[in-house]
Amino acid sequence: MQVRGKVFVVTGGGSGMGRELVLHLLAKGARVAAADINETTLAETARLAGDVGPRLSTHVLNVADQAAVASLPEQVIAQHGTVDGVINNAGIIQPFEKVVQLDDAVIERVMNVNFYGTLYMTRAFLPYLLERPEAHIVNVSSMGGFLPVPGQTIYGASKAAVKLFTEGLRSELLDTNVQVSVVFPGAVATNITDNSGVAAPAEDAESQASFKPLAADKAAAIIVEGMERNRYHILGGSDAKFMDRLTRLNPRRAAEFIHKQMRSLLSRSSASA
């Protein structure tokens, strides 16, 4: 589905990859309803978009609030007349800790935002999308959704749930006008740690990385292109592509490779707990 002239909802539109998705869609001639829990950063996205007039609307939203999500479709339609696509991008990571160290509240928050937020948004908008001549749902999973990352096990579980939910949804919608894609970004240069309320020694994390993080605007362009080409899986970044291949060929080796990359960072996190 070509994006020009279409109306898209983008969650997490206040910063990082979500902001770049909003700006990229606008640049390609789409109308966008940008949603984010942070009103200040959402306003900054609107400022960066420049004079786009009514093609952009902003909506302060906690995707984990089911009642708030349920009211969003009518708000979007009131401002844009219709809705043609949803990009469920909003997400948070967990503290860099082992499962045994995590508080129950942290686990619930990660699952609520990453999985239930995606589920609530999809269920809220799907009836409207089914009425359109063509429509598209894009759900952002993660490289951690198909590959175990020590210290991000709950985050990975939430993104794995997004993966299989999206694949199942696509199969259910094969005979309809609604297309579905799932995105697996690798390392993307965003402020997700700050947005997640997670303190991480960034210099240590980067020193363990074998791949340079993908710029957020490049990731957004890959996602939009993948949506326009109706790709089933959209892989963002050389690390995601490499680990996807390795995981398919030798999942145990892939898991041990990531363990080696993360071992030093996780040991430091455990020692300071």
| pLDDT given for residue 251 in this prediction | 94
What's the pLDDT score for residue 187? Answer: 85
Count structural domains, the chain.
1
The dihedrals phi and psi of 30, each to the nearest 5 degrees, come to -90, 165
Output the DSSP codes for 99-144. GGG--HHHHHHHHIIIIIHHHHHHHHHHHHHTTSSSEEEEEE--GG
Give the pLDDT of residue 202. 46
Distance, in Å, from the CA atom of 45 to the CA atom of 17, rounded to the nearest integer, reads: 11
Closest to 257 measured CA to CA, from 159, 140, 143: 143
- Output the tens digit of pLDDT for each of the chain's 273 residues: 999 999 999 999 999 999 999 999 999 999 999 999 999 999 999 999 999 999 999 999 999 999 999 999 999 999 999 999 999 999 999 999 999 999 999 999 999 999 999 999 999 999 999 999 999 999 999 999 999 999 999 999 999 999 999 999 999 999 999 999 999 998 886 555 455 455 554 444 433 445 678 999 999 999 999 999 999 999 998 999 999 999 999 999 999 999 988 876 666 554 444
CA distance 71 to 25: 23
Decide if 2 is inside a domain.
Answer: no
Q: How far apart are CA 37 and CA 242, in angstroms?
A: 33
Angle (CA) 218 223 225, round 5°: 95
Strand partners, 184: 235
Question: In whole angstroms, what is the distance from residue 234 CA to residue 238 CA?
Answer: 12
Domain CATH number, residue 105: 3.40.50.720
Active site residue 128: no
Residue 1 lies inside a defined structural domain of this protein: no
CA distance 130 to 169: 13
Q: Which of 116, 120, 128, 155 is catalytic?
A: 155
What residue numbers bound the domain in which 39 lies? 7-272
- Cα-based angle 237, 241, 199 (whole degrees, multiple of 5): 55
For the beta carbon of residue 60, count every other beta carbon within 10 angstroms: 14
